Amino acid sequence: MHIAVIGAGLSGLMAANELHRAHHTVTVFDKGRGVGGRLATRRIDTAVLDHGAQFFTVRSPQFAEHVDAWLQEGVVHEWCQGFGEHDGHSRYVGSQGMAAIAKHLATSLDVRVNCTAVSVLPSPSGVEITFDDGTTHSCDAVVVTSPIPQTVALLAQSVIELPQQLHSLEYDCTLGLLAVLNSSSHNIPAPGGVQNPDDTFSFIGDNLAKGISPMPALTFHAHPHWSRQHFEHELEHIQDLLIHAAQPWLGSADVISSQAKKWRYATPQQPWAEPFWKAPHAPVFLAGDAFAGPKIEGAALSGLAVAQALMSA
């Protein structure tokens, strides 16, 4: 089959790899400049900072199989077994940042970036996708992995109706600060990450301690309620507020360079119970972390499940 995947985040790339390995012809489209979606790593000067997902855990044997291969290939490494207390569950990170996991998965795929899909329409022979530059792509089936509100917009002109729970699925947003420091902060306890340290931040990650940055660089993520309250403010204003809130965590270090980041669709609030959804009368499949759970593992399992469904169709 000719299968299109919309979204080169973890879910789309896992699905595309499985389908490619089963000899289907797969084309992946993403509106971003690169692959990864919420697996995102940014360079500021020589510093390297993860600004989306910070780490991941593994609970299912199915995901463990893939992670074991990534460990052997040096794509990921174990960061720690918990923040504060060790709970025996490994926290893994991309060895060159989380986006490197996506780059690794994309290696043998036909991935087209800077391609924003604007509509997905069932056609007599399958599906037709239209992009914002007016071009179209015809395929036998499509896997759409964008966050659900974006998927709803993509399907607006089609006859496909999503179940009400999916249609109205809401996401928590996240505001983040990337801060490059002139020296290490000694206020972030080993292993270089703290969860829910105060009223502003849900996570602070030390990218040097995590082993991805050659120089001191911290990632700050704000709580959903703080993020919601400030989301529509100018980015510059948000950056000032976050730098101010970050001060107690910097110790004697100074911020020498920083960026703020808005994640509008960071975390789905009530994920769908099944690992993917198929339109009743069209070869249109929805997948992503809104299905198998709002984390890296959920996104991966959703991608694997939708590929399995397509292969046995």
Cα(210)–Cα(205) distance, rounded to whole angstroms?
8
Site string for ligand FAD, 97-136 (x = CB under 6 A): ------------------xxx-------------------
DSSP letter for 75, please.
S
Give the shortest CB-183-to-ligand FAD separation in angstroms. Answer: 26
Query: 122: which strand partners?
Result: 127
Among 90, 95, 174, 207, binds ligand FAD (CB under 6 A): 174
Q: Buried (b) or exposed (e) across 206-242, using 16+ Cβ within 10 A? A: bbbbbbbbebbbbbbbbbbebbeebbeeeeeebbebb
Strands, sheet with 171-181, edge to edge from the N-terminal-most edge strand = 193-195, 201-206, 217-222, 171-181, 255-268
Task: Give whichever of 94 and 147 is closer to ligand FAD, judged by the CB atom.
Answer: 147
What's phi and psi for 237, nearest 5 deg?
A: -65, -45
Cα(289)–Cα(147) distance, rounded to whole angstroms?
8
CB half-sphere exposure, 307, CA atoms < 13 A: 24
Residue 150 binds ligand FAD, judged by CB under 6 A: yes
What three-state secondary structure class fits 255? strand
Cα(228)–Cα(174) distance, rounded to whole angstroms?
8
Residue 29 binds ligand FAD, judged by CB under 6 A: yes
Cα(132)–Cα(218) distance, rounded to whole angstroms?
36
Give the CA radius of gyration of the chain. 20
Residue 171 binds ligand FAD, judged by CB under 6 A: no
Task: Give whichever of 132 and 254 is closer to ligand FAD, judged by the CB atom.
Answer: 132
Residue 15 binds ligand FAD, judged by CB under 6 A: no
Question: What residues numbered 60-89 form the site for ligand FAD, per CB under 6 A?
Answer: none
Residue 227 binds ligand FAD, judged by CB under 6 A: no
Among 105, 212, 299, 307, binds ligand FAD (CB under 6 A): 299
Among 20, 31, 66, 278, binds ligand FAD (CB under 6 A): 31
Contact by Cβ (8 Å): 296, 56:
yes
Among 295, 308, 309, 311, binds ligand FAD (CB under 6 A): 295
Interface region with ligand FAD, contact rule CB under 6 A, candidates 17-25, 80-88, 189-197, 294-302:
294-302
Give the shortest CB-36-to-ligand FAD separation in angstroms. Answer: 6
Residue 39 binds ligand FAD, judged by CB under 6 A: yes
Binding-site residue total for ligand FAD (CB under 6 A)? Answer: 38
Residue 145 binds ligand FAD, judged by CB under 6 A: yes
Minimal CA–CA distance to 239: which of 255, 216, 215?
255
Identify residue 180 by its one-letter amino acid code.
V
Residue 230 binds ligand FAD, judged by CB under 6 A: no
Residue 226 binds ligand FAD, judged by CB under 6 A: no
Applying CB under 6 A, which residues contact ligand FAD? 6-12, 29-32, 37-39, 52-56, 115-117, 145-147, 150, 154, 174, 176, 221, 263, 266, 288-289, 294-296, 299
